[in-house]
Amino acid sequence: MLERPAELLVYESDGLPGYHRTPSLAVFPASADEALAVVRELAAHGVPFVPRGAGTGLSGGALADGAVLLGLQRLKRIIDIDPVRRVARVEPGVVNATLTKAATKHALHYAPDPSSQTACTLGGNLAENAGGPHCLKYGVTLNHVVAAKVALPDGTVVELDADDGGYDLLGAFVGSEGCFGVALELTVKLTPNPERVVTLLADFTSIDDAAQTVSAIIATGILPAALEMMDQATVGAVEASIYAAGYPTDAAAVLLVEVDGAAAGLDEDVQAVDGICRTHGARDVRIATEPAARAKLWQGRKKAFGAMGRIAPHLVVQDAVVPRTKLPSLLARIAEIGAVNNVRVCNVFHAGDGNLHPNIPYDASDRAESERVHAAMKQIMQACIDAGGTITGEHGVGLDKLAYMDALFTADTLDGMCRLRDVFDPARRANPGKVVPVRYCRERRPNRQMVDGGGQMVEGDGGAGAGLREAATVVDRGGRA
Amino acid sequence: MTQRPSSLAELTSVVSEAAACAGALRLVARGTWLTGGARVEATAELLQLDAFSGIVEYEPGDLTITVGAATTIAELDAVTAAHNQWCPLSPWGTDDGSVGATIATATPGPYAHALGLPRDLVLGLECVDGTGKVLRPGGKVVKNVAGFDLVRLMTGAWGSLAAITRVSLRLRARPAVDETWVVEVGAAHADAARHALRRSATPPMACEEFAGQLLVRIAGNAAYVQAARTALRAVGDAERADDARWAQIRAATRPFRARAPMAEAVRLLDAGVKHAFDPANILNPGIMG
């Protein structure tokens, strides 16, 4: 348990720069039983809390503003791996890549692979419904979790199972960003390692050509394991860094395409992708089949965010999705928004899914620049919504995207989301103030008709102590409907 | 009596009025699922949703489609086939059933094992909950984590939380080669043979057993399918069959299972969910058991 301000400072932010919130206390249980005891103690005293894994999240979702931070990274036991059923039971603090490493001897792996996979935890992945480059073919966390043992915020333990015949509460829990409770144990699918993997790097002199190529590849029926795009700004940053992967720095954009699966037919798919790239204007296509060569092509992509640290001290990592066919026009619009606001946008993203990551390196101490970055981000988000897209594909809403939720969803839809949260956490103590703006959460009382108009819930903006006092008020109102 | 709203506004007022007088409604789109699963209370008035039909938005390049919930599986298949695409939803039952009922009942089909369950294929939806409110969770893009997941909640809720009016779905491009085969394996070895095929280097797109035979669909590029044929022959005598066999086997399959008893804590959460979205208990009352 940490309570000294200097110790708590470590936990005042997550992977997203620009937000700082200090928890009143940080608790790190060493076992699932201890975690449950902590949850029950918090419930007994009506104290709000924020579950946290490795703190690599990019939406400010793991920030605890006066609430108690419940760190789960010590719960890192892989309980068992069943190579026949191809599932693993794990505690929430197991690091994503650690599970894959443990499954390797069975020629299996855990498929969702966020860029932070060497640090992020499976519990955090579950809370955020994390994605990653290979989700294009293999699906996101939702598609890989088969059961979860969950401590509800009131201390009740429930086993959520995709197959229990009731409502899909497991599906509802995945991606609930720590607002529905704490996963104590997860059962996840393991995926057989592909027989063969080939990685292609195609470079283009026009970003529009690269974007058109993405749709053309998908249209053929070939489903690459990954289909990633990096623009010139990103390639420049990567190549100037220690992660240099040999990307052509004069290209307007590069596509990283991975084709995997059965050895039979793979070469035909690789040739088809190669051909499509060339007919759509690729200057060159490099093909890597050996693990070392493939890893080098991937290294630049996986470390791109880090490499952007060379450009400026801070980095906004953005996340939005547009329909794939809108990629060319959206990329043009993003360039325009960057130019108008005089900020440097580096695009590195999951093109096959239409999942954009327009990132902006900047100096947070420069107030004028920070404001320009903020304005540009707002315009980019609006452009994605206008194109029929969404404000987050894999990072979650957290604190960072709260402001865009009502541009995307109607008030009734947001209220419906709050109603779902209230089933799991009627006292609204778990990760308060995240995901849905508080003004859309109508106040509900047990055994009464819904009250119209703006209810209040805990929004921990009063620093340490205030959250606890507010929690007490909420508990007075609370109780399960 | 039957209620047959022709617009979203009419539907919300039908539901709101029913909620006000606690008048139960039994949701029907195409009526092909009426005998499936648990029975709805017999006093419930029929709520016909067949007006919510047709293609709302289809951009083939995005490999997504948005349809009215009462659109039939047959129409979904025909419209997407014209662009050499398809939706792997193809549920157990007839193609006269609706997309909305498939999502509401989360009914899988022969392609679910390889290509995803309904919960994996639905991207977003529009629905009217038991209080008469229109909810539009999710979206039409293939990756989306904005907000709490009412899409998964409504999928498989059997219309007991909301009447689904629109559904956005993930599509796939049709494979270059797509063949249906029948493999003689014998009833005693069918499970083992199916397991072996699914775990082979060239897993099939679908594999179902009936009367000692496996009906197998293998799809991909020419070289893949050639290797898959070899794998088929390794488990039994294999013969090409008509693709129409899939529609036959789907129509003949009743997918519904008896529900396992639920743990008390889960049952309480389910009751909380029902109360949150249908507090007057008017939508398909009793259907979730």
The stretch A265-292 carries a mean pLDDT of 97
d(CA A136, CA A321): 13
d(CA A26, CA A68): 6
CB–CB of B137 and A174 under 8 A? no
Q: Edge-to-edge, what's the strand order for the sheet holding A78-82? A: A78-82, A87-90, A182-189, A145-151, A157-161
Q: Which CATH class is domain B177-251?
A: alpha beta
Q: Is the pLDDT of residue B71 over 70?
A: yes
Residue of B47, B14, B15, B45 whose CA lies nearest to B31: B47
Q: Are A92 and A126 in contact (CB under 8 A)?
A: yes
pLDDT, tens only, A167-217: 999 999 999 999 999 999 999 999 999 999 999 999 999 999 999 999 999
What does the pLDDT read at residue B34? 58
Q: Which CATH class is domain A78-192?
A: alpha beta
Yes or no: domain B2-173+262-277 corresponds to CATH 3.30.465.10 = yes
Alpha helices for A134-265 (secondary structure H)? 135-138, 169-173, 207-219, 232-239
The stretch B267-271 carries a mean pLDDT of 96
The stretch A377-395 carries a mean pLDDT of 97
pLDDT, tens only, A34-43: 999 999 999 9
Cβ neighbours around A30 below 10 Å, total: 9
Q: Is the pLDDT of residue A254 over 50?
A: yes
* Range(s) of chain A covered by CATH 3.30.70.2740: 312-408
CB–CB of B265 and A215 under 8 A? no
Q: Minimal Cα–Cα distance from A304 to chain B, Å? A: 21
CB–CB of B259 and A165 under 8 A? yes
d(CA B160, CA B273): 10
What does the pLDDT read at residue B44? 86
Q: Where are the beta strands (DSSP E) in B87-161?
A: 122-129, 134-135
Q: Are A318 and B137 in contact (CB under 8 A)?
A: no
Per cent of chain B over pLDDT 90 is 87
Q: Are A376 and A361 in contact (CB under 8 A)?
A: no
Q: Is the pLDDT of residue A457 over 50?
A: no
Domain coordinates in residue numbering, chain B = 2-173+262-277, 177-251
Q: Which CATH class is domain A5-71?
A: alpha beta
d(CA A161, CA B18): 33
Alpha helices for A303-358 (secondary structure H)? 304-307, 327-340
What does the pLDDT read at residue B42? 72
Q: Minimal Cα–Cα distance from B180 to chain A, Å? A: 18
Q: Minimal Cα–Cα distance from B200 to chain A, Å? A: 9
Buried b (16+ CB within 10 A) or exposed e, A369-400: bbebbbebbebbbebbbebbbbbbbbbbbbbb
A450–chain B Cβ distance below 8 A for any pair: yes
Ranking A138-147, A385-394, A466-475 by mean pLDDT, the lowest is A466-475
Q: Are B152 and A172 in contact (CB under 8 A)?
A: yes
CA A328 vs CA A276, A325, A335, A448, B172: distances in Å: 17, 7, 11, 51, 21
* Range(s) of chain A covered by CATH 3.30.70.2190: 194-311
Q: Is the pLDDT of residue A459 over 50?
A: no
Q: Any idea which architecture A312-408 has in CATH?
A: 2-Layer Sandwich (3.30)
A335-340 long-range contacts (CB < 8 A, ≥24 apart) are: A335/A207, A337/A376, A337/A379, A337/A380, A337/A383, A338/A376, A340/A376
Q: Edge-to-edge, what's the strand order for the sheet holding B2-3? A: B2-3, B45-48, B25-28
CB–CB of B277 and A143 under 8 A? no
CB–CB of B135 and A158 under 8 A? no
Residue of A236, A274, A275, A269 whose CA lies nearest to A253: A236
What does the pLDDT read at residue B277? 98
CATH for A194-311, options being 3.40.50.300, 2.40.50.100, 3.30.70.2190, 3.40.50.150: 3.30.70.2190
The stretch B134-144 carries a mean pLDDT of 97
